[in-house]
Amino acid sequence: MTSSINQSAVIMLNEPPENIKAEQLVIGALLSNNDLIGQVAERLKPEHFYSPLNSEIYREAKALFYEGRAANPVTLKTRITAQGPKGQSVPQYMMACTVGAASPMHLHEYADQLIELAVRRNLMVLSGSVASRAMSGAANTNELLEEIDASILELRTDIEGSEDTAAALPAVVSELESNIVSRMNGEDAKVPLTGLTDLDNSMTGLRPKRLVVMAGRPGMGKSQAMVAFARRVARQGYGVGIASLEIDRQEWVSRLISAEAALGHGEKITYSDIQNGKLTDQQFLKFQKYSRSTSELRVKITDAGGLSAAQIEAKARLWKSDFERQGITLGVIFVDYLGLMRKSERYRGNLVHELGELVWALKCMAKRLDICVVLLAQLNRAVESRDDKRPVMSDLRDSGSIEEHADQVLLLYRPAYYDAHDPNPSHEALERFERRANDLLIRIGKNRLGPCRDHTVYCSVETGDIASKSQRGLS
């Protein structure tokens, strides 16, 4: 049986699935009517063609189309480096393709077929690579499984990305009207909320398909805000995922238990004391109580380091499936943080493009999985050299691509952090520190769904207690 399987595999590997005729029909249609390029350009990629010549013709035709120029055998002649088939020049080959072009009616059918065949070829290559690495034992098993997950996800995305996701306008209007009527009738919006009323009103919650970037310098309360938001979203009945590339899972759980005690019950157990095991007998009893209630939260955490965007999405898909089996909706994925994500080799050495690619991948993940993604990011050191250290959008590291892809950007600032680090504090500075020791400024630097405003909330760094000042009885 084994030898039979191996023999079949060899035959398959020697004859990868392809359809050159379909490729020629597509090329012919696009060269005959350039307007059709715009209909397939988003889905069909040059690498979906098996023939190197067809792939190059498509790539160059697409480039000419986006330049606003005609793409035909004459304009493409000098741009194609590949050789034509035996007995034919490249222009002759392209002319032959146009003679037998696919009709516009069948173009999408042929394009989808090319995409599926390309995915099958890549699956064959992947399976061979996996078998080879598994046999050699050179790769760590967990790492190999994660790479397989990421690779499968990329192939799945190819197929899913080829599906038509357009919706008829009447259906969208009807859905919007239904949501408005529900809100007018006093029904809660079916979106996860941060629990900070004013902030939720400005952001309209942590809506599905949105990418929220939460940025600040070290010590500004990013982790505390993330834990508080994650806990509140989970308490609303949603599933939550945390991809922590910096902090290990035990510290995250310590922070969640501390926040559970503070936010849910107004009791103080610092997460540092939990981590260090410095608890009195009474505190330990409280720890056991709140650890049990924390265990009820629908939160999944991975603390694997150096994950790529594809690996994070692969984990998110598994979490989503697991939650759905329990009748739970995955609401938010938190990623901590951008600078520690594994970058691809595509833009190696160009940090702006590297980070932009990661941010865009997470934005696409939010749309594909119908969830909100909250991405933590660092602000650059330019903040430290200013007298006014309140953050602005230009403080985002390589902000152009991050600002472009994010739906909302929250900039965090704790003035007490700088007050406490004043080497020669005056009496006035000490009073100022006492007055704003628990102030956290959440500045909405970008907001596609509403106004950009500053919100000052209460924040306890020790416990992760973050609440609107009105909720704390403060003015």
**pLDDT tens per residue, range 412-466:** 999 888 887 777 777 776 777 778 888 999 999 999 988 999 999 999 888 888 8
- pLDDT tier, 200 (very low <50, low <70, confident <90, very high otherwise): very high
pLDDT at residue 100, as a whole number = 80
**pLDDT tens per residue, range 209-258:** 999 999 999 999 999 999 999 999 999 999 999 999 988 889 989 999 98
Mean pLDDT of the 340-360 span: 84
Please, are residues 451 and 444 in contact by the beta-carbon 8 Å criterion? yes
Q: In what order do the strands lie in the sheet with 465-467?
A: 299-302, 239-244, 330-336, 372-378, 211-216, 408-413, 439-447, 454-460, 465-467
DSSP string covering 398-466: THHHHHHH-SEEEEEE-HHHHHHT-SS--HHHHHHHHHTTTEEEEEEEEETTS---EEEEEEETTTTEE
pLDDT at residue 179, as a whole number = 67
pLDDT at residue 426, as a whole number = 72
**pLDDT tens per residue, range 14-37:** 578 999 999 999 999 999 999 889
- Give the side-chain half-sphere CA count within 13 A for 80: 26
Which of 26-40, 48-62, 327-341, 420-434 has the lowest average pLDDT? 420-434
Which one has a higher pLDDT value, 147 or 52? Answer: 52
Task: Map residue 301 onto helix, strand or coil.
Answer: strand
Mean pLDDT of the 366-379 span: 94
Report the chain's mean pLDDT, rounded to a whole number. Answer: 85
Cα dihedral 187, 189, 192, 194 sign: negative
Q: Report d(CA 333, CA 336) in Å as an integer.
A: 10
- On the question of pLDDT at 6 being above 60, the answer is no
Global pTM reads 0.70
Which one has a higher pLDDT value, 35 or 401? Answer: 35
Q: Report d(CA 232, CA 226) in Å as an integer.
A: 10
